[in-house]
A and B are shown apart, each in its own frame.
Chain A
Amino acid sequence: MALLRVEDLKTYFQTDAGLVKAVDGVSFTVNEQEIVGVVGESGCGKSVSWLSVMSLINPPGKIMGGKVLFEGKNLLEYTRHSPEMRAVRGAKISMIFQEPMTSLNPVLTVGEQVSEMLRWHLKMNDKEAKERTLYLMNLVGIPDAKNRYDDYPHQFSGGMRQRMMIVMAMSCNPRLVIADEPTTALDVTTQAQLLELLNEMVKEFQSSLVLITHNLGVVARYAHRIYVMYAGRVVEEGKAEDIFERPQHPYTIGLLKCTPRLDEEEGRELEPITGLPPNLINMPPTCAFLPRCKYRKERCAEEPWPPLFPVGPDHYARCLLHENAEGRVNMND
């Protein structure tokens, strides 16, 4: 059953240089207890779309349209700081951000930063809130939690801070956790530990997880389904194994060709995607990947960006190659 359905979400930024369509009609589905990966380059709109789900877009950004259906309600009908929206944020949908060094308040103790949520959302008293915080700190493997409760963020290492962010995110037993590049700022060994921890936590709490990342390796291991985004739109979606074994959009194919894999034969050369991601100001209506595409046809420059075509069971790609069912691509050709 779908826990969250995002339909045709549009978030634009009005800048001095022009209108930036950071998110231009994306739809996602997140099922109960599912781990969904959202992959794309910097600036493809992956973070902005999920901040929009949380109604955390600041001016000059504005959500221009779409629906965010969660537990039968359209969250976009609530105003940004309404009590209804605040009751969802942190309690039912929580978020983990990229920068553990700057995402915790430097002048409040780490314990208080978790406890205040428990008091606020679950109406716990000081003692209950502290007990639950300590329980969670132990659960995520913060040694000597009792003494570290009153420490300040600067007394924690990057990895430990991100553990505290996980404690915060899990504190109110949310239905959905959105992790925006949760391990990008950490060193590689810590990254692996934290992903494993996050995976265990959402299992333990029976939550769903959205894993936003530019790193295919991160989603490969944990995600059940994957959305690939490019220039503010979803260009391919499907089950993780389909995306990795049978990618159908030229962009996904390009991404996989420039990613090394451990389980492949020796000797494959990594192929970079040539060119740069497009400038999102005043985009042409045609496919945004067109200038970098190796599969392009003349028609691509004439037609607007096509819709998502089905390319397999629960597998879709936004490319004219798949206009007809026989258009399947083999990435190794």
Chain B
Amino acid sequence: MTKYIGQRLVQALLTLILITLIVFFMMRLLPGDPLLIYLGQRAELHDMTDEALEELRKEFGLDKPIMVQYVNWVAGALRLDLGTSIFYREDVGTLMKERFPITLYLGCIAMAVSTTAGILIGLLAAVRRGAWPDKIISPLTYIGVTIPAFWLGIILIYVFAQKLGWLPVSGFTSPFKDFVQSTRQIILPVICLSAFGVASTARQMRSSMLEVLPQDYIRTAWAKGLSERVIIIKHALKNSLIPVITLIGVGFRVMIGGSVLVETVFAIPGVGRLMVSSIFSQDYVVVQALTLVIAVLVLLINLVIDLFYGWLDPRIRYN
């Protein structure tokens, strides 16, 4: 087990190195210059002298050869120093500290919603296969997996915020400051973020449950005289969760992607929006740092999920 985790960590490290290389060089291959964008937005036109540009270039170390820049960045990242944003002129760590909790808060709620709702809905559809709950659920999940998050967001805002006026259009308030307002504000973004997760989890849950229910060991459980509830929850659920857990890992990655769009649509000051604005302003430092942190998170989640399999299915051995 320890050996397995060790191996997985080494693999994760290699993946991480690859990711840093790709992000670092891809950003620099893009046409344009972040310093020009910065100066263009901040300074009066007459301030945009070649000297000012050179000075900035030096300040951010962008005058050095590209390999040196890469090594400097990696060395900084190892000391947990992710650099200073070109555009915000602020430490990237500080920028993220303000925004990551918001994204994670929304993300965790959306994950919890999509996992529990997805499993319960899929279970219901499978157990009552062909009856009315299944007939309603199955088509809805088709829609759920195909609907684009940003489109759903705009429609939700239009219907529930603008037309019905039940919920605020956009924005984010800390739940510690004003819990009610905060909750009202996150309802639509959470629906948006979890729509795909709920639908895909439910579909996977339904089909893997339908695969488990005709198994011999379920017939054995019936023959033992157990109740339907015990058979579904104890004998069938654990067996059918294995493929669903894989999907939850995928769902997490989809959610990070989704937060970019959803935070933009709902004007939520999270890392998703920071990512979008930093890409537009070609803020190398921020984009690199965010990609690195998100990559680490995804790799960790994948490891946790792999270990979770072992708890679910005793036939899995880690060697």
Please list the residues of chain A having a beta carbon within 8 angstroms of any beta carbon in chain B.
54, 56, 58, 81, 86-91, 94-95, 97, 99, 102-108, 116-117, 120-121, 152, 154, 165, 168
Contact = CB atoms under 8 A, between A and B. Distances in A.
A120 B229 CA distance: 13
Given A102-B216, A105-B217, A107-B239, 8 more contacts: A56-B223, A95-B223, A97-B219, A102-B215, A104-B220, A116-B224, A120-B225, A152-B315
Interface of B: 214-217, 219-228, 230, 234-235, 238-239, 312-315
Contacts, number: 76
24 contacts: A56-B219, A56-B223, A86-B226, A89-B224, A90-B223, A90-B224, A91-B225, A97-B216, A97-B219, A103-B216, A103-B217, A103-B219, A105-B221, A105-B235, A105-B239, A107-B239, A107-B312, A108-B234, A116-B234, A120-B224, A120-B225, A120-B230, A154-B314, A168-B220
Contacts of A107: 238-239, 312-314
Contact of B217 (A86, A87, A91, A102): A102
B225 A106 contact: no
A116 B234 CA distance: 11
Q: Which of B214, B217, B230, B238 has the most A CB atoms < 10 Å from its CB?
A: B217
For the residues of B in contact with A, the DSSP-based class is helix
A152 to B, nearest CB: 4
Contact of B216 (A87, A88, A99): A99
B225 A117 contact: yes
A104 B219 CA distance: 10
B224 A168 contact: yes
A58 B234 CA distance: 20
A88 B225 contact: yes
Nearest to A104: B217
A121 B223 contact: no
A179 to B, nearest CB: 12
A106 B227 contact: no
Contact of A87 (B214, B219, B225, B314): B225
Nearest to A171: B224
Nearest to A54: B223
Contact of A106 (B214, B228, B239): B239
A86 B223 contact: no
Nearest to B237: A107
Contacts of A105: 217, 220-221, 235, 239
B93 to A, nearest CB: 43
